[in-house]
Structure 1
Amino acid sequence: MTISYDQFGLKEVINASGKMTILGVSKVSENVLAAQRFGGEHFFEMSELAIQTGAYLAQLLKVEDAQIVSSASAGIAQSVAAIIGQGSLYHVYHPYTDRIKQREIILPKGHNVDYGTPVEVMVSQGGGQVVEAGYANGCSPEQVEMMITENTAALLYIKSHHTVQKSMLTVEEAVAVAHKHQLPLIIDAAAEEDLFKYSQAGADLVIYSGAKAIEGPSSGLVIGKGQYIEWLRLQGKGIGRAMKIGKDNILGLTQALADRLENGSESGESMKQRLAPFISALNQISGLKATIVQDGAGRDIYRASVKLQEHSAKEVIAALKSADPAIYTREYQANNGIIEFDIRAVDASELEKIITRLKEIM
């Protein structure tokens, strides 16, 4: 049987929105597919597979240990549970027990965002209780410190374009507060490109999405201190059982990360070069003004920003999605009349289709 869009009544999708879960996040390479196939065609002692792939990745990433999980969201929940339980088997089987009072997870208020589900949902799933520090428009190290009590289990920092970017304490400041009060710091860096920065800054656990910057299959990765990773592995007998990941995706992510470290990712300069003719073509369309912009969170990612002068951005976005192929864009500034196009997963022929469709809509 040959798989196709038509077989399931699906539309083709051009992903100009970025590494988004709603679209399947990333395409995977032939190397990754081969690793997944090897996993699918063989049996393993699964506990040993987790330990050995974790040790392999830890060596590559220069950390004490690593654990592959089913997603970055699962990484948050299991990291929180690990820190709260501290290796207790009683806790593993009774994750929400009243015996353990130290459950407060301090999070800057501007980091308590909805990225597809609210951050606090994943913290709660891990048995934590979110305590917000600061305000939506700012959080200082002092405001984090004043929320620490005897029931504080950990600090959580979300490094993401979804969060408030201004007037927030830095990663380094969060590390300093955590170390001063002898508390673990968990950093959710799901879509971040730098796989070394946050562990080297002093974070105790760092969480990545396997399918975003790493361009692996559906998966997540937690790296950091060996003791905490051991506690996290125990969650496979507890809440992690409902979040287990298959052998094929464990090996697929392992291969993807090794390839990512060897080959790197597309540079911002390359993106700008690919964007240049696309921007020029868009500016030939009446009613559009296109420019190149950098990612709002400061990453080395460049996109096309299109200001609509005569049409509603929301109506144009809906029209782009309605056709076949469906064209998905970044919609965060639609209320300002702006549509952004992320071209990391878009090839030249797909860029031409976007131009053609915009001409039709305009």
Structure 2
Amino acid sequence: MHKKDLFCLIPKVDELLNEGRIHLLFERFPRTIIVDTVRACIEEIRQEIIGLNNEEIDCYCLDEDRLIQRIAHQVESAYSMNLKRVINATGVVIHTNLGRSLLSDEIRDEVWNTAVNYSTLEFNVETGSRGSRYTHVEGILSKLCGSEAAMVVNNNAAAVLLVLGAIAKNKEVIVSRGQLVEIGGSFRIPEVMEQSGARLKEVGTTNKTHLLDYERAIHEETAALLKVHTSNYKILGFTQEVLLSDMVALGEKYNIPVVEDIGSGTLIDFSKYGLAKEPTVQESIAEGADIVTFSGDKLLGGPQAGIIVGKKKYIDIMKKNPLTRALRVDKLTLAALEATLRLYLDEKSAIRKIPTLHMLTMPFQEIEEKAKLFLHSIKQLDLKHDVRIERGVSQVGGGAMPLEELPTLLIALKPLDKSVNQIENELRNRSIPIIARISDDHLLFDCRTIKREEFDIVLEAFADILRT
């Protein structure tokens, strides 16, 4: 047999499109995707045949059933969303690559109703005139934070950009060298400040900055004192950092506003739940900060947003700044944020209903119950693989509490007839990807971040992958 004989066996495009199983795809998928996929699969077969050596030619078999299965799979894959749900088995609670904080099931209706219907985004129903989108969250933010005013932009880097652009453009902002952090995605505080038009004035050293360093740097071009919470790293040992209250007193002495970027941002004192102490927004406002910025999708547990709270006279300036238009949030973000913030009116309810807070404060007993249930269910599959419970640690993630280790339990699985990397790859390429960790030739599934209702999805994947 020659290669040209094999080429003759390849079905034509029209033949495959009229094949019953392929024809059924037209009920679910656009014709263009099906036709393009059929052509691509035929070309793949041609390339396979071209690559055959003489010995392989005689053994080559064109299986039409497998070809049709390949076409159907690739059509479904081509039409599926690129941004899709995954199961987070890594134990990193605020996983930046996996979408950071999960929204609460409690707010599903509020967000969906806003998405599929017209809304009061910029309409005042009381006066019948145009309204402001910021009013939807300003009241509750001010109440929760104890601030005079509030507004929201699309992320915390944007919040810092807007604050400095509004109150310090073409002037100097004094900041400690030890607080010039990189905030992720290779973006750095100095670069954000540069884009705002403010000029950076560094004081102190990497490990030590004193109040006198700030005072000596103040002159007629000083527009603000900036304090940045180094939430994504810690300097230990011979260190000195100026307290916010001392910076506020200095700012009042020279009539200069004090801005604090607390990064991850939290409205709850996590130290009450056995975690590391993080500065709360309320504490910063109570200590006198004129403006405080923080993220909505990290420790707050809401959607991606940059939240600005503080003195009304400064917030009003920001609302009128042209940058606000470019950085504004959409209706879905506002709906999700407002609904999430309402849960904070009762702290116990927030801990229970906001997934990020619940996972971070989850009692070890609850993790143990999940792990035992999960292991029992896996053993029911009779997979003939080494599966057991191991102790481990989860991480907070999202650049928050970098030194915090959360005790957890892991399902450790060691495949006997496949490599760990192969299993990890197959789990990652499921229709609902399952993202796990690899350590010492074991796949690790952290029971802190896997939801109970996701067990069946993982079990189905185990049955498909580990039985074959």
| Match in the other structure for 1:132 | 202
Q: Can you list the C-alpha shifts for 1:93-112, whole angstroms capped at 9, x where unaligned?
A: xxxxxxxx4x2111211211
| Match in the other structure for 1:28 | 103
Q: Is the 8 A contact 1:77 1:125 kept in 2?
A: yes
Q: Can you list the C-alpha shifts for 1:46-74, whole angstroms capped at 9, x where unaligned?
A: 65231353134313432111112111111
1:302-313, aligned counterparts within 5 Å?
Answer: 302-304=405-407
Q: Report the CA distance between 1:16 and its aligned residue.
A: 2.7
Q: Is the 8 A contact 1:38 1:248 kept in 2?
A: no
1:49-88, aligned counterparts within 5 Å?
Answer: 49-84=133-168
| Match in the other structure for 2:5 | none
Q: Percent identity?
A: 22
Q: Which amino acid aligns with 1:213?
A: L
Match of 2:308 among 205, 217, 222: 222
Is 2:276 the counterpart of 1:172?
A: no
| Match in the other structure for 1:91 | none
**Farther-moved stretch of structure 1 (60-69 vs 269-278):** 269-278
- Pair 221,270 (structure 1): closer, same or farther in 2 beyond 3 Å: same
Is 2:352 the counterpart of 1:270?
A: no
Whole-angstrom CA distance in 2 between matches of 1:239 and 1:214: 25
- Pair 4,176 (structure 1): closer, same or farther in 2 beyond 3 Å: farther
Q: Is the 8 A contact 2:370 2:452 kept in 1?
A: no
- SS state at 2:132 partner: helix
- Pair 241,269 (structure 1): closer, same or farther in 2 beyond 3 Å: closer
Q: Report the CA distance between 1:30 and its aligned residue.
A: 2.9
Whole-angstrom CA distance in 1 between matches of 2:425 and 2:243: 37
Q: Report the CA distance between 1:225 and its aligned residue.
A: 0.4
- Pair 7,203 (structure 1): closer, same or farther in 2 beyond 3 Å: same
Q: Report the CA distance between 1:302 and its aligned residue.
A: 4.8
| Match in the other structure for 1:12 | 86
1:1-362, aligned counterparts within 5 Å?
Answer: 7-8=80-81, 12-14=86-88, 16-40=91-115, 41-44=117-120, 45=122, 47-84=131-168, 101=170, 103-116=171-184, 117-166=187-236, 167=239, 168-193=241-266, 194-235=280-321, 238-262=322-346, 263-265=349-351, 266=357, 270-274=362-366, 290=392, 302-304=405-407, 324=428, 325=433, 327=435, 345-347=449-451
Whole-angstrom CA distance in 2 between matches of 1:172 and 1:344: 37
Q: Which amino acid aligns with 1:270?
A: M
Q: Report the CA distance between 1:274 and its aligned residue.
A: 4.7
| Match in the other structure for 2:414 | none
- Pair 289,53 (structure 1): closer, same or farther in 2 beyond 3 Å: closer
Q: Is the 8 A contact 2:293 2:306 kept in 1?
A: yes
Q: Report the CA distance between 1:285 and its aligned residue.
A: 9.7
Q: Can you list the C-alpha shifts for 1:163-203, whole angstroms capped at 9, x where unaligned?
A: 44442223333333323332111111231323311111111
Q: Which amino acid aligns with 2:86?
A: E
Normalising by the residue count of structure 2, what TM-score does the alignment of the two structures yield? Answer: 0.56
Q: Is the 8 A contact 2:394 2:448 kept in 1?
A: no
Q: Is the 8 A contact 2:148 2:311 kept in 1?
A: yes
- Pair 132,241 (structure 1): closer, same or farther in 2 beyond 3 Å: same
Aligned pair count?
A: 319
Q: Can you list the C-alpha shifts for 1:109-144, whole angstroms capped at 9, x where unaligned?
A: 121111111112222222212222212222222222
Q: Report the CA distance between 1:217 and its aligned residue.
A: 1.8
Q: Is the 8 A contact 2:175 2:227 kept in 1?
A: yes
Q: Report the CA distance between 1:345 and its aligned residue.
A: 4.4
- Pair 322,180 (structure 1): closer, same or farther in 2 beyond 3 Å: farther
Q: Is the 8 A contact 1:71 1:220 kept in 2?
A: yes
- SS state at 1:115 partner: strand
Q: Which amino acid aligns with 2:451?
A: D
Q: Which amino acid aligns with 2:281?
A: L
Whole-angstrom CA distance in 2 between matches of 1:342 and 1:231: 46
Q: Unpaired runs of 5+ in structure 2?
A: 1-27, 30-75, 124-130, 267-279, 352-356, 375-385, 410-419
- SS state at 1:155 partner: strand
Q: Which structure's CA Rg is the greater one?
A: 2
Q: Can you list the C-alpha shifts for 1:4-62, whole angstroms capped at 9, x where unaligned?
A: 99813668351532324432211112333322233332243265231353134313432
Q: Is the 8 A contact 2:303 2:333 kept in 1?
A: yes
Q: Is the 8 A contact 1:58 1:65 kept in 2?
A: yes
- SS state at 2:201 partner: strand
Q: Unpaired runs of 5+ in structure 1?
A: 86-100, 307-315, 335-339
Normalising by the residue count of structure 1, what TM-score does the alignment of the two structures yield? Answer: 0.71
Q: Is the 8 A contact 2:173 2:223 kept in 1?
A: yes
Q: Which has the higher contact order (CA 8 A, sep 6+)?
A: 1
Whole-angstrom CA distance in 2 between matches of 1:17 and 1:5: 30
